[in-house]
Amino acid sequence: MKVSIIIPCYNSAAYLDACMASVLAQTMTDFEAILIDDGSRDDTLALARRWAQRDARVRVLAQENRGVAAARNLGLDGAQGEWITFVDSDDLLPEDALHTMLSGTGDGVDMVVCAHETFDDAGRRAVVIPQTRWMDKRGEAQRRAAARRLIEGDSVLNIMCCKLHRRALIERERLRLRDGVRVAEDALFNLEAVLCGGGIAYVNRVAYRYRMHGASVMHAQAESQMALHRPWLCAMRDMLIARGQMETYYADYLDSVALRLYKDGGVRGVMRDFEAQAVPLLPLCAVDARRLSLRARALHALCRAGAYPRVYPLIYPAQVIRRKLGEAMFALRAAKEMPQ
């Protein structure tokens, strides 16, 4: 079997039929679709079972309500395909989605990334493409560039849709989503897959249609960015340490922590809250300073000395310039390379 399509479902009765119709209309037919009902309170489970009765390629699993991470993990436990992709139950696949993603597979490739399209009930549509700067690189340089985007967050590379993962890698490394991480759990999964995987292929075509509606707004704006992302930051720190990668990405991880504080309160917010909110997240004693880059070593020393907040007004402009230059280069490239 070539592809396992994992589809977590929770109260999806309004959209599941359209989703499954798009899945079963694929021009590439060698796949299984695994529907996981996450304790829905509507007719989702009954609809899922009807689809399984119609097509032998559809399997249904059910669990008590434990969240999308646990549902996806249950799907991973039962998947049998050579490749795995994830679909949300309110979204759609173009009919050639699997063909498009599979066109990027090959020796040494463990992940395939494609563009996606957003749409809503009013007929508005927009193509969204990942920042492909990392695709200019190869081997270890490519892996590091992609990992840095995932550690920073706020990237199209974060999301689990419009991607293929090689199941042999997932099983060899026992990759699973973290229960208890409700924000950016998909980015954490993709990051770990990049860190322990091989090549990443980008196919510049739309392979997913993401539905925009009221329920797409994930979290209340009243909660701070740091509060929302703290479980993700903690899990990412622990994973980087466990994988022996914290020294490589220490500066990137620190920048990501500081970015959450900046989004809450600007430069003054970082200066005010760094010691209380950021320092507990930092592995100050769990890194080998001798393995850090010169920049990371300087930042690590500032954090240990308690001086990072005082010098942050000098650090911040360099972070902004680096990010803005990257965004500008991406915008120029994207305008020339719109997906088909």
| 3 state DSSP class of 126 | strand
Task: Of 238, 231, 294, 302, give the one whose Cα is nearest residue 270.
Answer: 302
Extents of the domains making up the chain? 3-216, 225-335
Residues 6+ apart with CB under 8 A from 211: 15, 90, 91, 92, 118, 119, 120
With residue 336 as reference, give the H or E element that holds it.
helix 308-336
The pair of three-digit structure tokens given for residue 297, joined into one six-digit string = 């070593």
Residue 285: partners with Cβ closer than 8 Å, 6 or more residues away: none
Tokens of 67: 């969240």
43-82 confidence digits (pLDDT tens): 999 999 999 999 999 999 999 999 999 999 999 999 999 9
Q: Which one is the CATH code of 3-216: 3.30.70.270, 3.40.50.150, 3.90.550.10, 3.30.70.1400? A: 3.90.550.10
Task: State both tokens at 305.
Answer: 């000395």
Q: Which helix or strand (DSSP H or E) is residue 62 part of?
A: strand 58-63
Percent of the chain scoring above 70 in pLDDT? 89
- For residues 189 and 182, give the distance between their C-alpha atoms in angstroms, rounded to a whole number: 12
Q: Distance between CA 52 and CA 226 in Å, rounded? A: 42
Which residues make beta-bridge pairs with 85?
Answer: 5
- pLDDT per residue as tens, the chain (340 positions): 799 999 999 999 999 999 999 999 999 999 999 999 999 999 999 999 999 999 999 999 999 999 999 999 999 999 999 999 999 999 999 999 999 999 999 999 999 999 999 998 888 999 888 766 656 667 788 889 899 989 988 777 889 999 999 999 999 999 999 988 989 999 999 999 999 999 999 998 999 999 997 654 444 455 799 999 999 999 999 999 999 999 999 999 999 999 999 999 999 999 999 999 999 999 988 899 899 999 999 999 999 999 999 999 988 887 776 665 555 444 545 555 556 5
pLDDT digits (tens, 9 = 90+) for 146-179: 999 899 887 778 899 999 999 999 999 999 999 8
Helix, coil or strand: residue 258: helix
With a CB cutoff of 8 Å and minimum separation 6, the contacts of 14 are 90
